[in-house]
Amino acid sequence: MKEYNDYSLLNHNTFGMDVCAKRYVEYDSERELQALIPTLKGDVLHMGGGSNLLFKGDFEGTVLHSAIKGVEVEEENEREVLVRAGAGVVWDDFVAWAVEHGYGGVENLSLIPGEVGASAVQNIGAYGVEAKDVIALVEAIALQSGQKRCFGTAECDYAYRQSIFKKEWKGKYAITYVTYRLQKEPVLKLEYGNIKAMLADKANVTIADVRQAIIDIRNAKLPDPKVQGNAGSFFMNPVVSREKFLAIQKDYPRMPYYEVEGGVKIPAGWMIEQCGWKGKSLGRAGVHDKQALVLVNLGGATSEEIITLCNTICCDVKERFGIDIHPEVNLI
């Protein structure tokens, strides 16, 4: 276990905010976490890789971080394998492990920043796959009582970038392990965007090829947080009614969209680009020039600058399209 007071979080948030935590504790096991619980006073923030949050200022309570590691096969049959990973495993290391072992299901989620624990909280998703599609079981410790609890996927109430851990049980549980159901005979998901086109000249496409294609797409479109602070997609893609969608489509016949349960999803990045924001900035906060859904720290930006840019963009999108867009990034 590692513990620090007045600890700089600069290297623990990909937006590159230079803020401090009053107390920062990194634990290595469930038992260590349980022993810590009686010592927790005031606000508690459980952090993963810090890749989906924006600190508004110093954190006056305790920041907890899981360093629970390990990836192990729990059960298998001819078709499937259940793999249990520690919450502190770097997500992309887990994906790399799965692909190396020939287990399919997470290859489309290659290179998403963050850790295994957060995959189950955020229901991370990309290129037609969401974490919920592969999660079989979530193990967690209640931050009040220290009691261990296991959640089946249905209990987690998953939806697009949503789970019960972000709603009713926000801040109540620390996820310690996640078990994923992976396929020994992978069914490739190539329908999203230009993945199929990228792999067109390959004869027998493997999950390793899909992983590489996705790594290439992400590297081309998304800024590297080590070079330019950012938290991936800053906004969620809104879902609107069919009527609303058809009305907008009249004016913008080339608008991209996805039919989803309950309506039509319109890419917020496209709307932001239509509003003229792509590659533009306000102060030291910018809109990425290759993907308008991503806000970037152009160097030394304050959280106020990022939030001002966020609010200005939301107003412009509302004015032009009549649609409310909301941050995906958690404001702390």
Which lies closer to ligand EPU via its Cβ, residue 148 or residue 244?
A: 244
Which lies closer to ligand EPU via its Cβ, residue 26 or residue 93?
A: 93
Query: How far is 227 from 297, CA to CA, in rounded Å?
Result: 10
Collapse the DSSP code of 244 into the 3-class scheme (helix H, G, I; strand E, B; otherwise coil) and give the result.
Answer: helix
Question: How far, in Å, are 122, 131, 205, 312 from residue 187 at the CA level?
Answer: 24, 16, 11, 42
The number of beta carbons lying within 10 Å of the beta carbon of residue 294 is 22
In the structure encoding, which two tokens stand for residue 172, read together?
């109540």
Residue nearest to ligand EPU (CB): 232
Catalytic-role residue among 51, 163, 233, 303: 233
Q: Using alpha carbons only, give the angle 219, 163, 231 rounded to the nearest 5 degrees.
A: 30
Query: How far is 106 from 129, CA to CA, in rounded Å?
Result: 8
Which lies closer to ligand EPU via its Cβ, residue 62 or residue 291?
A: 291
Query: How far is 75 from 82, CA to CA, in rounded Å?
Result: 5
Q: Is 328 a catalytic residue?
A: yes
Token pair 């495993």: residue: 89
Query: How far is 194 from 213, CA to CA, in rounded Å?
Result: 10
Catalytic-role residue among 32, 161, 273, 320: 161
Binding positions for ligand EPU, rule: CB under 6 A? 126-127, 192-193, 222, 232-233, 236-237, 256, 267, 269-270, 273, 278, 291-293, 328
Asked if 108 and 156 count as a contact pair (C-beta separation under 8 A), the reply is: no
Q: Is 145 a catalytic residue?
A: no
Question: How far, in Å, are 88, 109, 264 from residue 101 at the CA level?
Answer: 20, 16, 37
Q: Is 320 a catalytic residue?
A: no
Active-site residue numbers?
161, 233, 328
